[in-house]
């Protein structure tokens, strides 16, 4: 699964597939649990260690539809499939400890109004961006994972980005939620291998 983001043809990842996400997240869970086997500060529960899984039960179609109705938009394919595989997840990135669920995902301006007020002060362009983005991360090391409905691919994917207090502005734009997850997994693997 490690090189899945770079595969093509029949071996290309199906980021819009719940089954693909389940396999990908199961593999990722094993890697993270192995890396943090004796590391209590990483907020990994005994139940997660015993199950070998850092995710949750997948969201039902009813939960996904209710979330889309509440948000007033259809979720992008890779993020929607991710939620179908695991409605929440721990340690999806090196500095991200929990993902939001279908019940808590929301527009940044509504989900974290005080944070929204602070990070939109970077100028008119950044303010417009922050006014429209969807916040999908929850507990993290002062970072926020964002999906942009104003930057949509022909396949319906929303561009993804990270804002963190410990670096200026936004990080590198990713074409989709799936691309962001794949990049963060590579970062985790590099940190693990270098550490």
**116-140 residue pLDDT tens:** 998 888 788 889 999 999 999 998 8
d(CA 13, CA 153): 17
Whether 193 shows a pLDDT value over 80: the answer reads no
> Is the per-residue pLDDT at 98 higher than 80?
yes
Task: Evaluate if residue 62 carries a pLDDT over 60.
Answer: yes
pLDDT exceeds 80 at position 3:
no
Planar angle of CA 134, 140, 144, nearest 5 degrees: 25
What is the rounded distance in angstroms from the CA atom of residue 137 to the CA atom of residue 134? Answer: 9
Answer yes or no: is pLDDT of 9 > 80.
no
Selection from 150, 175, 179, 173 nearest residue 13 by Cα: 179
One-letter-per-residue 3-state SS of 19-88: HHHHHHHHHHHHHHHHHCCCCHHHCCCHHHHHHCCCECCCCCHHHHHHHHHHHCCCCCHHHHHHHHHCCC
């Amino acid at each position: 699964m490690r090189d899945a983001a770079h595969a093509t043809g029949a071996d290309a990842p199906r980021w819009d597939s719940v089954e693909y996400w389940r396999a990908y997240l199961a593999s990722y869970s094993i890697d993270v649990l192995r890396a943090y086997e004796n590391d209590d500060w990483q907020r990994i529960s005994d139940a997660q260690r015993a199950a070998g899984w850092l995710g949750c039960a997948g969201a039902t179609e009813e939960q996904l539809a209710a979330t889309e109705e509440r948000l007033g938009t259809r979720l992008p394919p890779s993020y929607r499939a991710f939620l179908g595989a695991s409605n929440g997840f721990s340690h999806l990135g090196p500095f991200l400890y929990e993902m939001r669920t279908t019940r808590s995902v929301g527009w940044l301006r509504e989900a974290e109004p005080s944070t929204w007020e602070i990070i939109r002060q970077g100028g008119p362009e950044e303010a417009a961006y922050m006014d429209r983005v969807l916040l999908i991360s929850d507990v993290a090391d002062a970072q926020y994972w964002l999906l942009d409905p104003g930057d949509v691919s022909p396949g319906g994917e929303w561009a993804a980005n990270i804002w963190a207090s410990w670096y200026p502005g936004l990080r590198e734009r990713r074409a989709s939620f799936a691309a962001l997850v794949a990049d963060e997994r590579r970062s985790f693997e590099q940190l693990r291998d270098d550490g």
